[in-house]
């Protein structure tokens, strides 16, 4: 039987359609993500170091394969970091998935 962590590692998360804008906030470079659907309030700042991860969240790679790619490229990731980041993105409605779909349906019904 697989655990939720195993299921997550084998999932292929996909960032949903968002507006991406280069930004510098408090001297840190990165991207600002803006939700064109208005499901999330405000903007989300993603530090430059995390952009290579976002670029791989295209629905074609599992978390395990993304982690392998990043490690081959020289990234140092602590255990569970990628899964935690993806869980945060999902909870923030930035990924395609059940929570996003449910929120869209609930919003449309209002």
What string of pLDDT tens digits covers the 110 residues of the chain? 444 444 555 789 999 999 999 999 999 999 999 999 999 988 999 999 999 999 999 999 999 999 999 999 999 999 999 999 999 999 999 999 999 999 999 988 88
Residue 2: per-residue pLDDT? 44
Q: What is the DSSP letter of 54?
A: H
Residue identified by tokens 């935690």 is 84
Structural domains of the chain sorted by starting position, each given as residue range(s) with its CATH number in brackets: 18-109 (3.90.930)
pLDDT tens for residues 10-31? 789 999 999 999 999 999 999 9
Residue 68 dihedral angles phi and psi, to the nearest 5°? -60, -45
**What are the backbone dihedrals phi and psi of residue 93, each rounded to the nearest 5 degrees, phi first?**
65, 30
pLDDT score for 42 = 86
In whole angstroms, how far apart are CA 66 and each of 54, 70, 80, 82, 99? Answer: 10, 6, 13, 9, 22
Would you state the pLDDT for residue 3? Answer: 45
């Amino acid at each position: 039987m697989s655990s939720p962590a195993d299921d997550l590692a084998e999932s292929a998360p996909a960032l949903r359609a968002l507006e991406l804008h280069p930004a510098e906030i408090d001297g840190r470079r990165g991207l600002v993500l803006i939700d064109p659907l208005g499901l999330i309030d405000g903007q989300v700042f993603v530090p430059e170091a995390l952009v290579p991860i976002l670029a791989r969240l295209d629905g074609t790679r599992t978390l395990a394969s993304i982690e392998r790619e990043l490690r081959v490229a020289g990234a140092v990731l602590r255990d569970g970091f990628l899964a935690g980041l993806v869980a945060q993105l999902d909870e923030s409605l930035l990924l395609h998935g059940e929570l996003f779909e449910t929120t869209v349906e609930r919003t449309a019904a209002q």
